[in-house]
């Protein structure tokens, strides 16, 4: 018997820059060209043209929801200059999802900014909130029939990226948020001033989208499932606040909060412990910790004071699809237990639908579907059929 409520969303997620291809007008495209060691996104998965095929594969598997994003750099190529053609493109994506029986979960911002926005000072620029609000106002016009809107993806990670972009601008080494070789370094804690700015931007856009559309609005927070070693309890509270809880508190009063969870990390008296190289690590150097989803969902529920949860990302970078199924199955056990304990969970969206461009790297494969990077041929992996079957039974196993 499944513990998942009726109407539960089952599906997968992608982000525009990682799958569309040729996102020329974005700051990340620019960074890829400038940063040593970064691979280019190039044509990515060419989902800009092939989204209907991607959605059909997801719908045919038995899943009922798709999370995808709208790319600001395409919709507003210059400040105040709106591309009606791009808006129409994203409207076609929404219609295609609905026609296929997939509930669209739409993200307005997933890490990438228009180049001009970055040049204006990015998220700490004087006009940042006003600019984002104006873009949201433009996109609100095409969101009819979209029941779930995520204003911003992983603001806590975006804050770190904003900090790193500043370092790069001052001539220091930039580092991709997901490295794929060596011991996984601990990313620096984000500056809380950036976090507060992002909270303001989120609240402004949340109010506007609520006013203009019938959508439930939230944002999606990267949850690191931090756990204290004996003696690390005080440090845990401190690092968790700047890395996570500030953003979860920003979700209080939202219609839902997106939980994004992959792994877990230990916190000792000196801070977060770098995770060592181990044979069972994932392809992004993180620990194999399917239990992190249950920890993340419970922590989110507690800090947000009972805001409904939508799992907007959970998955594993692996070349072994059986391992993906084992990981996901164990993660769902933890999710089901949280539901049984009273956490209001509305859906599970796996990261990712496709093997895609992992922010500077192509090697870490998170997809339920493999993509040939020259022919763009899609090859579903057994995990897609597995997740779709589960969706048909609403998680009954
Ligand atoms: C999350 C991002 C997503 C993807 C996964 C692996 O931090 O939101 O775009 O990179 O990690």
The answer, yes or no, to whether residue 177 has pLDDT greater than 60, is: no
DSSP 244: I
Chain mean position to CA 124:
21
Q: Tell me the pLDDT of the chain averaged across its residues.
A: 95
Rounded distance, CA 65 to CA 102, Å? 4
Question: In sequence order, what are the beta bridge partners of 381?
Answer: none
Instruction: Report how far ligand 1's centroid is from the alpha carbon of 154 (Å).
Output: 8
Rounded distance, CA 137 to CA 140, Å? 5
Question: In sequence order, what are the beta bridge partners of 67?
Answer: 13, 105
The answer, yes or no, to whether residue 281 has pLDDT greater than 90, is: yes
Mutation test residue for ligand 1: of 184, 351, 355, the one with most atoms within 8 Å of CB: 351
pTM score, two decimals? Answer: 0.97
**pLDDT for residue 187:** 85
Burial of 171 per CB tally in 10 Å (0-12, 13-18, 19+): exposed
Atom of ligand 1 nearest to the CA of 18: 9
Mutation test residue for ligand 1: of 38, 178, 315, 354, the one with most atoms within 8 Å of CB: 178
Question: In sequence order, what are the beta bridge partners of 69?
Answer: 107
Q: Is 131 in contact with 92 (CB distance < 8 Å)?
A: no
Residues 6+ apart with CB under 8 A from 207: none
Q: What angle do CA 142, 143, 144 make, to 5 degrees?
A: 100
Instruction: Report how far ligand 1's centroid is from the alpha carbon of 1 (Å).
Output: 32
Considering 20, 71, 76, 154, which one is annotated as catalytic?
154
- If phi > 0 it is left, if psi is from -120 to 50 it is alpha, else beta; for residue 26 that is beta
Mutation test residue for ligand 1: of 359, 361, 362, 364, the one with most atoms within 8 Å of CB: 359
**pLDDT for residue 67:** 99
| Ligand 1 neighbours by CB, cut-off 6 Å | 15, 18, 153-154, 157, 178, 222, 260, 313, 351, 358-359, 366
**In the annotation, is 244 catalytic?**
no
Q: Is 187 in contact with 359 (CB distance < 8 Å)?
A: no
pLDDT (tens digit per residue) in 1-38: 688 999 999 999 999 999 999 999 999 999 999 888 89
């Amino acid at each position: 018997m499944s513990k998942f409520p009726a109407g539960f969303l089952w599906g997968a997620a992608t982000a525009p820059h990682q799958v569309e291809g040729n996102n020329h007008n974005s700051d990340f495209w620019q960074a890829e060209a400038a940063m040593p060691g970064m691979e280019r996104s190039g044509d990515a998965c060419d989902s800009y043209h092939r989204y209907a095929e991607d959605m059909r594969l997801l719908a045919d598997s038995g899943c009922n929801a798709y999370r995808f994003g709208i790319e600001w750099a395409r919709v507003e190529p210059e400040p105040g200059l709106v591309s009606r053609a791009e808006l129409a493109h994203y409207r076609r994506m929404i219609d295609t999802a609905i026609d296929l029986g997939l509930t669209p979960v739409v993200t307005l911002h997933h890490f990438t900014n228009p180049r001009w926005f970055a040049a204006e000072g990015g998220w700490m620029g004087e006009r940042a909130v006003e600019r984002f609000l104006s873009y949201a106002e433009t996109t609100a016009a095409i969101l009819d029939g979209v029941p779930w809107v995520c204003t911003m993806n992983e603001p806590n990670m975006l804050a770190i990226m904003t900090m790193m972009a500043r370092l790069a601008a001052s001539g220091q080494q930039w580092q991709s948020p997901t490295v794929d070789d060596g011991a996984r370094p601990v990313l620096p804690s984000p500056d809380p001033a950036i976090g507060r700015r992002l909270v303001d931007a989120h609240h402004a856009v949340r109010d506007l989208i609520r006013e203009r559309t019938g959508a439930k609005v939230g944002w999606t927070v990267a949850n690191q499932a931090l756990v204290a070693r004996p003696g690390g309890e005080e440090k845990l509270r401190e690092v968790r606040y700047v890395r996570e809880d500030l953003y979860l508190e920003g979700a209080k009063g939202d219609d839902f909060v997106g939980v994004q969870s992959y792994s877990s990390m230990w916190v000792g008296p000196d801070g977060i412990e770098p995770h060592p190289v181990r044979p069972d690590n994932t392809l992004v150097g993180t620990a194999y910790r399917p239990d992190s989803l249950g920890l993340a969902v419970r922590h989110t529920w507690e800090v947000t004071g009972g805001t409904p949860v939508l799992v907007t990302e959970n998955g594993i970078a692996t070349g072994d699809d059986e391992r993906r199924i084992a990981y996901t199955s164990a993660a769902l056990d933890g999710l089901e237990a949280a539901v049984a304990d009273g956490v209001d969970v509305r859906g599970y969206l796996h990261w990712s639908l496709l093997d895609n461009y992992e922010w500077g790297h192509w090697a870490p494969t998170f997809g339920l579907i493999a993509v040939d990077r020259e022919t763009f041929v899609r090859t579903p992996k057994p995990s897609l059929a597995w997740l779709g079957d589960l969706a048909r039974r609403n998680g009954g196993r």
